[in-house]
Structure formats: C-alpha cells, structure tokens
Amino acid sequence: MTENPDLSRIRNIGIMAHIDAGKTTTTERMLYYTGKVHRMGEVDKGTATMDWMSQEQERGITITSAATTCLWKDIVINVIDTPGHVDFTAEVERSLRVLDGAIGIFCAVAGVQPQTETVWRQADRYDVPRIAYVNKMDRVGADYFRVISMIEDNLGSSPVILQLPIGAEDCFTGLINLINLKAYVYNDDTGDNFTIRSLETEEMQAAQEYRNILLEKISEHDDEILEKYLEGQNITEAEIIAALRKLTIKNMLVPVLCGSSFKNKGVQMLLDAIVDYLPSPMDIPPVKGINTVTGEETARLTGLQEPMCALAFKVVTDPYVGKLTYFRVYSGIVKSGSVIFNSNKNNRERISKILKMHANHQEVADQIGAGEIAAAVGLRNTFTGDTLCSEDAPIILESMNFPQPVVDIAIEPKTKADQDKIGESLRRLAEEDPTFRTKINEETGQTIISGMGELHLEIIIDRLVREFKVNANVGKPQVAYKESVSKETRAEARFEKQTGGRGQFAHVVLKICPLPEGQGNKFINQLGGDVIPGEFILAVETGVREALQAGVLAGYPVDDIEVSRVGGSFHEVDSTELAFKVAGSMAVKELLTNAEPILLEPIMDIEIVSPEEYLGDIISDLNARRGRVLGFEENRETRIVKGNVPLAETFGYATSLRSASQGRASFSMDLSNYAEVPESKSKQIIAKRYGLLV
C-alpha cells in the first residue's frame, strides 16, 4: 500500500445493521478474501478479528466500531465495522460522519428491524450512499423479496435488485448476476471455489424480467440509458455499472445484493460492488465548514495540495500508547511529528505518531493524506468532533450530535485506593464515549454515571474493573427522567442586597412556555439593550440555564421550554452580573413552580419476535408494564409484536421474556421519545426521589 494512494482508488465504507444481522461475520469474510487475514474468525467462537475487546468476545456482539484497511482489485478499502445494539448507537453516528459510503446488512429472515431503521436514518442525515446486502439466505424462513419490499416501504429508499438467489434456505447454492446474466454457483462452503456458468432456461426468464426492471429504474434518472432502452439497443455491462454508480452516489438508488456470509457465499461479489458503486473521496462534495477568521462558510476541496483539514471522530485509551485519536483527513497531508491546529479549542497540538489501524493492531505511517483514516498519538486536548487544520487556514467542520443518556446508576469505590483512581478512570471513559456522562449528586455525595442502557453501563463497569483496575459497588439502574412545564406563565424577581458600601441590585421579569418534545431549552431576550445592558442579559441567561439543571418536582433536568426576558431594570451603580445571575435563577424557580410542572420519562420502541403460542403471555406482560401494542407482523415461523413501553418498566425484561417463551423469544428496543409520566406514577417517583418511599 502506497503512502498516499490515488484518491479515486480509495473507498471509505462502514458496515451497519441491526444486532445479529451479520456485520462482523461479513467483515471477517471480506478480510479473508482480500488476503488481510489468512483464517476466518467467528463471532460465536470469540475469534473475530474486529471484535477484539474481551467484552465483545464474551458476549458475541460488537461494542466499539473497529477500523481496518484491505485491498481488493487494487482498490484500498478502509472498513469500519459498527455495533448493532441500540446502546452503542453513538459508535454508528460518529463512523457515518466520516465515511463516504456504507453497506446496510439485512437478515433475510427478519428484514428491516428497529436498529436498522435507526442507522438508516443516521446515514440519511449525513447523505451517505449505500449498498444493501441481504445476508443469511441459507436460514429457514429467508425471503429475499420480502426484505426488498421492507427496504422500500419502511426505509423510504429505492432499492434496485442486482442479484437473484439460486435456491433458498438449505438449498441456497449461489446467485445470478443480472448485469452480466451469469450464474455463480458455489461448490463448497469455503467460498473460494465457485463456478461461473450460463443461465438455464427458467433462470434466464426470471433474470431477463428483473434485468428489465433494473434498466427501467436506471432509465428514470439517466437519459442515455433511457434512449438505448426504448430503442432496443444493447446496453453494455460497463454502461450499466457506470450509470448505477452515478445514481448510487447521488443517493437515488440502493443496489441490492444477497448472500450468506457465514457459509461464505456472495462476499466476493459484495467486494466488487463496493469498488463499482460506492464513492471514492473524489466523488463526494467538498467538505464545508466555518472559517474562524471571517465567520463565513467555506469549502475545502479533496486533494493533497489543499490546506490540511481533518475531523477527529473517536478517542480510545490504548494500554500501550495512551490516548489514540481517530481522524479522517478531508484535504492536504498530515505528517508524523508535525504541529497541527485544533480550531475548536484554538490551540496547537503535536502529532507524535500516526498509526494505520487493523482492529487493535497498529501499523506506523510517516504521513497520511486526503481521503484516508488513521489514528494519532500525542493529541492531548483533542476530542470527538474537533477539527484539526492548518493554522494559516483555520476552519471548523460540522460536528456530531449524540443522544442524551437515559439510564443512571450510582457507583462507589470499594477502597481508598479505588477512590483515588475512579475519578480519572471515569474521565477517560467519558472522553472516549460522548453518550457516557458522570456527575456528583450534591445531596448524597454519590458518583452518578449515565448511559444509553443497561448493557452500555454494564460494559463501562466491566472496563473499569479490567482495564483500569478499579473495584466499585454499583447501585441499581435508574431512569434519567426529565421535567418540563405544561402552561405559560410569568414571574418577577428582584435581588437587592445592601452591605454598607456598594450594594447588589437586579430586577428581571421572565416568561416561560412549553415547547414541543425534542426542541430543547431556549432563552429569548425580547427587550432592547437600552433596558438592560448586554452583559447583564448574558448573566440572566447563565442563571436561567443553571437553574434549569434541577427542576422543582424531583430535581431532574428541565427540558423543552422557552424562557423569555420580557421586563426588568438595573441600577447604574449597584447592578452586577452576579446579581442578575441570581435574579434569573430566582425567577426561573418561581416560573417552574407556577407553570404546572410535569415529569417526563423515556419511552422505548420495542419489537418482540416470538413463536405464536407465547404471544398471549407476552402481550399480557407488556400491558402490565404500561406498554402499548401498535401492530403485528407475520413471519413463517414467528410473529413480530411492535409497540412501545416506558424505559422504567423494562429493567429485567430479558429474563421475564425468556421465562414467558421458554427462551425462544427475543426483543430489541430503541429510544422513541419522552412523554409525561401518569400522575399516580409521578407521585411515586417524586416520593422515592426524596426518600419518602422505600
């Protein structure tokens, strides 16, 4: 691999899907067929290259996104294998932010699942071109065409079929390529030995039918193909691939392929599709950001001669080299030992070493250029979302938005030695993971850690013990409730203090009103600067925002409200920023009390897959947990229940579901929204919060 390969010969791609759709298995096969590894690892046996953490190997799931590089047909493919569990959705978010293309993997039996929809929406947000790969075609109940319909209906995409399966379930032996009208039949389960043959009569009829559909879909967007198609002219393979590549990169079509990664069928064709249809760094639009000097939007072209510009998208703690910062270079060249500028922090950093990553194995590089992904050693103050650039061409790229944590637990060190280590260990873990937060409960003095779910926090605690050698007592998971208000109201606060000399004076009139769910908190100044000077208005906002950290019902953070400053006055001599900050805080407390405060709880979308005979007990249990059933879907062997349920009612649900279904049912959850807690439940939560209810 050259130091700075031709940019058109690079593919930066991610593997994304619902948990257990086969992402890591597919990645393992890609590494094997490209010669990167010489033996295929297996997730179930804990030998997968990309699942290198001990926690991943024990649980058989991907927890952290792992990056690697391989070579296929002289094309450099940088691959990031992302987690499928909803608790680790931040890993998908930050990977998609820096990738040029993605492979969405779908289980041929389950089709589009909740987390599939989540990651697909994340890819939509970053406008990432995609290929769909329908995996597990050898499984009982596999239905290729049902999955394609779900991609169209549930995800709102425009799938275009490039392959037809030969056989299904146990009889899945290969696939038909609709572009060259050839059959690829596998002779054994190694995937290395397959025969390419002409199509039989029945196969040709089906292939011609679906090939025409393929050409019609391309013709809708490509005039040259349309003209040839209408005139009955021969359309070459190269023309179809070129047109399809263009439309895939524009996100107009999603090519669909099929296979069985575990049985080693179809992966080489998937590698071909990555090369043929997914974009190189040269195919994506120039990255845009804000020039920190002029404040204007500016674009940075992809090229080695451009000013250097990169985005840090992940931080990990390595036991050997310390802090590793993963970054994607958008323009220019980054050299080992060079000084770069962190435009978010407005400071210089020195890169002591550049590493190309293969999961947790490292390869030292002297430099990397535009379009490449690597990790840096030596960046002390650079974190997820920070822009790295040339100091003489400063730019800040769009960062990433991460969801708020929804589960809290209290954690206490067991010994004095653990006490000394726990703060630093938690800080380093929070640096790595933007969805993990820590805080001190001022009333109890306990350390509270917050995350995206029970599994997320379980992994954090496991890492504390194994990596950081910290032993701790852990409380039960608690829901991260929020507070809001249900009506509009006004309040006036006057802060006066006279101490003999210069006093303190501030007078504010504020209005509060509820906002739609998901809007966050807003502070609006409705008066001109002549009524109260600007620096005092900022002080009021600071006081307001600090007061909103703890609501009046149970001390939970207040969300989705708008606070407006509608009146007030100041004293030429006695008014200070501190006085206005205190007055703003006082007014907010009164507003929250008078605006009919409400408690909000996280509601989870839930999908339960179960044999039909257990549905009655499962639905009864869901109803008892304040859940709602929204719909059913039928599969050959199972039934799918879709609904929602408050997060507070789901702790320990896995055990309950296994018990109700003799271990044959499974479920997945995803955060849907926050909703008002019923009054009776709200009273219990508030009483428990203040120790009135045990």
pLDDT along the chain (694 residues), means of 10: 65 86 85 76 50 48 67 88 68 82 92 82 89 93 92 91 91 92 88 87 92 93 89 88 95 95 92 95 90 86 89 80 86 91 91 80 85 88 89 87 79 82 85 83 72 81 83 82 91 80 83 89 76 80 90 90 86 82 91 92 88 89 92 79 90 81 78 89 84 51
Burial (CB count within 10 angstroms: exposed 0-12, middle 13-18, buried 19+), residue 551: buried
362 and 355 Cβ atoms separated by less than 8 Å? yes
**In angstroms, rounded to a whole number, what is the distance separating the alpha carbons of residues 77 and 12?**
6
Q: Which amino acid is at 104?
A: G
- Report the side by side order of strands in the sheet with 339-342: 347-350, 339-342, 387-389, 309-318, 322-331, 373-377, 353-358, 361-365
**In angstroms, rounded to a whole number, what is the distance separating the alpha carbons of residues 232 and 226?**
10
Look at residue 4 in the predicted model and tell me its pLDDT. 45
Neighbours of 333 (CB within 10 A): 18
Using DSSP bridges, classify how beta strands 75-81 and 66-72 pair: parallel, antiparallel or unpaired: antiparallel
Phi and psi angles of residue 187, each rounded to the nearest 5 degrees, phi first:
-90, -20
356 and 336 Cβ atoms separated by less than 8 Å? no
Q: Which residues contact 616 (CB under 8 A, 6 or more apart)?
A: none
Residue 575 is given by DSSP the state B
**Residues forming a β-bridge with 257:** 133
Look at residue 2 in the predicted model and tell me its pLDDT. 39
Question: What is the separation, in whole angstroms, between the first and last Cα of the chain?
Answer: 63
**In angstroms, rounded to a whole number, what is the distance separating the alpha carbons of residues 479 and 671?**
12
Look at residue 528 in the predicted model and tell me its pLDDT. 61
Q: Is the sign of the CA dihedral 175, 178, 183, 184 positive or negative?
A: negative
- Whole-angstrom CA distances from 153 to 156, 519, 638 are 6, 28, 21
Look at residue 646 in the predicted model and tell me its pLDDT. 92
Q: Is the sign of the CA dihedral 540, 541, 545, 548 positive or negative?
A: positive
Look at residue 665 in the predicted model and tell me its pLDDT. 81
Q: Which residues contact 85 (CB under 8 A, 6 or more apart)?
A: 19, 61, 62, 63, 115, 455
Burial (CB count within 10 angstroms: exposed 0-12, middle 13-18, buried 19+), residue 307: middle
**Any idea what the Cα angle at residue 260 is, between residues 258 and 263, rounded to 5°?**
155
Look at residue 442 in the predicted model and tell me its pLDDT. 62
**In angstroms, rounded to a whole number, what is the distance separating the alpha carbons of residues 428 and 264?**
39
72 and 93 Cβ atoms separated by less than 8 Å? no
**Token output for 171:** 């009889």
Look at residue 179 in the predicted model and tell me its pLDDT. 93
**In angstroms, rounded to a whole number, what is the distance separating the alpha carbons of residues 463 and 322?**
16
**In angstroms, rounded to a whole number, what is the distance separating the alpha carbons of residues 408 and 300?**
41
**Token output for 612:** 């039909």
**In angstroms, rounded to a whole number, what is the distance separating the alpha carbons of residues 288 and 448?**
38
Burial (CB count within 10 angstroms: exposed 0-12, middle 13-18, buried 19+), residue 137: buried
**In angstroms, rounded to a whole number, what is the distance separating the alpha carbons of residues 30 and 13?**
12
Q: How many whole angstroms from its chain centre is CA 108?
A: 23
Q: Which among 131, 165, 123 is positioned nearest to 146, based on CA atoms?
A: 165
**In angstroms, rounded to a whole number, what is the distance separating the alpha carbons of residues 102 and 426?**
32
Largest CA distance in the chain: 102
Phi and psi angles of residue 618, each rounded to the nearest 5 degrees, phi first:
-65, -45
**In angstroms, rounded to a whole number, what is the distance separating the alpha carbons of residues 371 and 330?**
6
